[in-house]
Structure 1
Amino acid sequence: MDLSAVLPALILVAVCFAYVFWPQPLTAPTVEKSRLDYLRERKDSIYENLRDLNFENKAGKYPEADFLAQRNALESEAAAVVEEMDSLGG
């Protein structure tokens, strides 16, 4: 084996290893979420689930009883979230 052929390969492997595993600085500072931020995200998620449920019901994927039960559960959860948001001032 010729050392002149192995040395560039070892350097390349070392550089690739350093590039992949070198610790990177955080690009964005982490922000603490408030309870109100969490509730806003939860409300958006519930509304999206309601839209999906209505779409799937119109496509005939759910029996009427299951659709009504799931819709009522999501609507009551949304009401609880909105009520808590109102109590927090959001």
Structure 2
Amino acid sequence: MALNPTMIGAIAVNIDTLAVVACVALTAAVLIFVFMIQPDPADSAPHRSHLDQLMERRDIIYDNLRDLKFEYRTGKFAEEDYEQMKQTLEAEAALVLAEIERVTESPGMLPRSDAAVRGRAVPAGPRAGN
């Protein structure tokens, strides 16, 4: 069966139409990907562990205490205000330090003593009331 010119023209039109549809679909997919999908901000931020966050918070509290002491010495705060703010910051620092200690006390992070390795108990020492 020989191809006549109208059949060749119809096949060419179908291939051209298919190419245009494919290009439009690809363009639409790219535009949707670029403009519609919102990246998660946490993906671009560096990943920090809970311990890193606690250490940063501890450093901030220490800086605040240092600044508070400096400003008190320069006369910006009354003694009562200084003591109140100092106690608040120290209490917050104690909470953060306790949390740091709790986080770092996991079994994998503590070195074992020789007695624990051998399976012996360490003597407790003198007791109060004896």
Partner secondary structure for residue 81 of structure 1: helix
**Which amino acid in structure 1 is aligned with residue 77 of structure 2?**
Y
**Which amino acid in structure 1 is aligned with residue 90 of structure 2?**
E
Match of 2:47 among 15, 29, 32: 32
- Report matched runs for 1:12-23 at 5 Å: none
1:67 CA displacement: 0.3
CA distance in 1, matches of 2:69, 2:55: 21
Corresponding position of 2:78: 63
Match of 1:46 among 41, 57, 61: 61
Q: Which has the larger radius of gyration?
A: 2
CA distance in 2, matches of 1:31, 1:55: 33
Q: Percent identity?
A: 44
TM-score by length of 1: 0.65
Corresponding position of 2:95: 80
Q: How many residues align?
A: 62
**Which amino acid in structure 1 is aligned with residue 52 of structure 2?**
D
Q: What CA RMSD, in Å, does the superposition of the two structures yield over aligned residues? A: 1.4
- The CA deviation string for residues 59-79 of structure 1, in whole angstroms up to 9 with x for no partner, is 011011100000000000000
Q: Which runs of 4+ in 1 moved over 3 A?
A: none
Relative contact order, higher structure (CA 8 A, sep 6+): 1
Runs of 5+ unmatched residues, structure 1? 1-28
CA distance in 1, matches of 2:71, 2:65: 10
**Which amino acid in structure 2 is aligned with residue 63 of structure 1?**
A
